[in-house]
């Protein structure tokens, strides 16, 4: 263990409880625990955070891994009370809240649609989000899970394309997890409260999302459910939160998928690169 890894302060349980943030030392997945709390009646905005997750879940059935105390792994219960058609904005809204929080701490993060949070010219992933719908006695509820790599060392990264806030600012102490957590939760709660009203606030969020989105204007490949691949230029995020791809002939709105930002070098030799449009 490096010195960096050895000096990881614990979160302050009573202080955070006063902000409706429950801290647990260890759990499988904070999303699973928050879903349980939601079914038990946890109110809108309630938060569960774990010092260590042993079975963290990622998008598309992937895993999310980080050593104890090195990341912020949290889940927020949101009860949006809006028509189902608006739910796809929840993960995008949460991504904007993460970007804002990081900006407040001096990090210029960008979003890869829908909500991977990237840092630096190499666009390494520093945070990921997983929003899950839970049926509860109080109605359908969203659990917004966020994993943010704070003090992971290079050896601790799960994949080479990831990074942490500490690695992005070498030689400086890692940002304080508790300050980040409080800022992030406050941003998320406020964003959610204004967005759910709709109208101008929802339009403003769409504009802010577009500004934070590194995917727009780029050639991309989208791997979609059912082994379909779409390739084109990302030209917009529509009012339903879908990424709009232009393949030169048609515009394709995409609601779900894994986006790859294609660089010239990646493109050469890629089988998908040889297929125009939907594969
Ligand atoms: C992804 O990028 O694939 C999404 C990762 C989401 C990870 C977070 S960590 C806290 C919460 N609990 C989970 O099990 N997953 C999310």
Q: Let me know if residue 180 belongs to a domain.
A: yes
Ligand 1 atom nearest to 71, measured from its CA: 9
> Does 130 contact ligand 1 (Cβ within 6 A)?
yes
Q: Is 137:41 a contact under the CB 8 Å cutoff?
A: yes
226: pLDDT confidence band, cut at 50, 70 and 90?
A: confident
Q: Which residue has the higher pLDDT, 243 or 8?
A: 243
159: pLDDT confidence band, cut at 50, 70 and 90?
A: very high
Max Cα separation, the chain? Answer: 58
Q: In a mutational test of the pocket of ligand 1, which residue from 147, 161, 163 has the highest number of ligand atoms less than 8 Å from its CB? A: 147
The alpha carbon of residue 203 and the mean position of all alpha carbons in its chain are separated, in whole angstroms, by 20
Same domain, 100 and 60: yes
Same domain, 58 and 101: yes
How many separate domains does the chain show? Answer: 2
Same domain, 71 and 196: yes
Q: Is 133:141 a contact under the CB 8 Å cutoff?
A: yes
How many CB atoms are closer than 10 A to CB 226? 5
Same domain, 156 and 237: no
Res 3: pLDDT: 52
Nearest CA to ligand 1 atom 7: 147
> Does 128 contact ligand 1 (Cβ within 6 A)?
yes
Same domain, 223 and 199: no
Q: Let me know if residue 47 belongs to a domain.
A: yes
Local structure of residue 46 (DSSP, 8 states): -
Average pLDDT, the chain: 92
Dihedrals phi, psi of 151, to nearest 5 degrees = -115, 20
Full domain range(s) for residue 233: 219-261
Q: Let me know if residue 276 belongs to a domain.
A: no
> Does 120 contact ligand 1 (Cβ within 6 A)?
no
Q: Which residue has the higher pLDDT, 6 or 76?
A: 76
């Amino acid at each position: 263990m490096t010195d960096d890894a050895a000096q990881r302060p614990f979160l302050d349980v009573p202080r955070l409880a006063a902000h409706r943030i429950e801290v647990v030392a260890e759990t499988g997945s904070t999303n699973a625990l928050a879903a349980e709390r939601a079914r038990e009646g946890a109110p809108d905005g309630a938060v569960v955070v774990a010092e260590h997750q042993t079975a963290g879940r990622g998008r598309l059935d992937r895993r999310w891994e980080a050593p104890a105390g090195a990341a912020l792994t949290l889940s927020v219960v949101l009860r949006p009370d809006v028509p189902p058609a608006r739910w796809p904005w929840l993960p995008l809204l949460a991504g904007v809240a993460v970007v804002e929080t990081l900006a407040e701490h001096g990090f210029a993060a960008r979003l890869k649609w829908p909500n991977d949070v990237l840092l630096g010219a190499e666009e390494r992933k520093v945070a990921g989000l997983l929003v899950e719908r839970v049926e509860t006695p109080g109605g359908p509820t969203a659990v917004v899970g966020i994993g943010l790599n704070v003090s992971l060392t290079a050896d601790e990264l799960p994949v080479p394309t990831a990074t942490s806030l500490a690695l992005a600012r070498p030689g400086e102490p890692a940002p304080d997890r508790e300050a980040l957590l409080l800022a992030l939760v406050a941003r998320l709660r406020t964003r959610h409260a204004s967005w759910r009203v709709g109208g101008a606030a929802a339009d403003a969020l769409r504009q802010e999302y577009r500004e934070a989105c590194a995917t727009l204007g780029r050639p991309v490949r989208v791997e979609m459910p059912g082994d379909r691949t779409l390739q084109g230029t990302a030209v917009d995020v529509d009012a339903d939160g879908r990424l709009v791809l232009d393949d030169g002939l048609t515009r394709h709105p995409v609601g779900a998928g894994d986006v790859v930002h294609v660089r010239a070098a990646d493109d050469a030799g890629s089988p998908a690169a040889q297929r125009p449009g939907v594969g």
